[in-house]
Amino acid sequence: MNEKNRSAYLIIGILSLVVFVFLTWLIYLRNPEPNYPAWVTALPSLNAMLNGITAILLAWGFFEIKIKGNKESHKKIMICATVTSGLFLISYIVYHQFHGDTKFLAQGMVRPIYFFILISHILLSIPLVPLVFTTLWHAKSEQWEKHKKFARWTFPIWQYVSITGVLIFVFLKLFN
C-alpha cells in the first residue's frame, strides 16, 4: 500500500468511526428532547425524499458510466448523490436530536418483513460510510482499477440502503 493511500484510509477509518459512535449515542443511548417544534414531524418525509432522490441519482450515474461510458456525467451525478446522502444524514441527525427511535407496533406477517428490512438497512449503512469515502478517494486520486473494485460493493450497498430507507418510511406510514 502506498503512503498516500495509507493516510487516506486512516482518515476515512477515523471519520467513519466518529460517525458510527456519534449516531449510536444519538439514537440509542441518549434521552431525546421531550418538547420539539412542529416542523420536526416533517423531517421523516424529507429524509425519505432525499433517500429516493439518492437512489435515482445512483441508478442514473451507473447508467452513464456502464451504458454510455460518459465519465463527466458519471462524476457529476455521483457527487450529487453524495450531497443528497449528506443532506439526508444532517436531517436524520436533526430529527434524532428531538426524537428517539420509532417503535413498530403492527402485528402479523408485516412484522418480520419490516424488521428484516430495518436490520439489514442498519447493518449495511455501517460499512457504507467508509465505502463511499474510499470510492470517492480512488476517483479523486485517479486510481481507476481500485475505484472499480470498491464501486462494485459501494454501488449496490448504497442503492439497497437508500431504497430500504424509503421502504421503512412507507411501512411506518402504512402499518404503524
Residues of this chain that bind ligand HEM (CB under 6 A): 62, 65-66, 71, 74-75, 78-79, 132, 135-136, 139, 144, 147-148, 151-152, 154-155
Q: From CA 56, how far away is CA 79, in angstroms rounded?
A: 13
How far apart are CB 134 and ligand HEM at their closest, in Å? 8
Q: From CA 4, how far away is CA 105, in angstroms rounded?
A: 49
Closest of 129, 172, 120, 169 to residue 153, by C-alpha:
129
Q: From CA 55, how far away is CA 62, in angstroms rounded?
A: 11
Nearer to ligand HEM, 93 or 157 (CB): 157
How far apart are CB 123 and ligand HEM at their closest, in Å? 19
Amino acid letter, 26: L
How far apart are CB 12 and ligand HEM at their closest, in Å? 12
Query: Which residues, 6 or more positions from 114, have their beta carbon under 8 angstroms from its beta carbon?
Result: 104, 106, 168, 171, 175
Residue with cell string 411501512: 171
Nearer to ligand HEM, 129 or 132 (CB): 132
Nearer to ligand HEM, 9 or 104 (CB): 9
Nearer to ligand HEM, 44 or 61 (CB): 61
How far apart are CB 158 and ligand HEM at their closest, in Å? 6
Nearer to ligand HEM, 109 or 142 (CB): 142
Q: What DSSP state is assigned to residue 38? A: G
The 3-state DSSP class for residue 104 equals: coil
How far apart are CB 107 and ligand HEM at their closest, in Å? 38
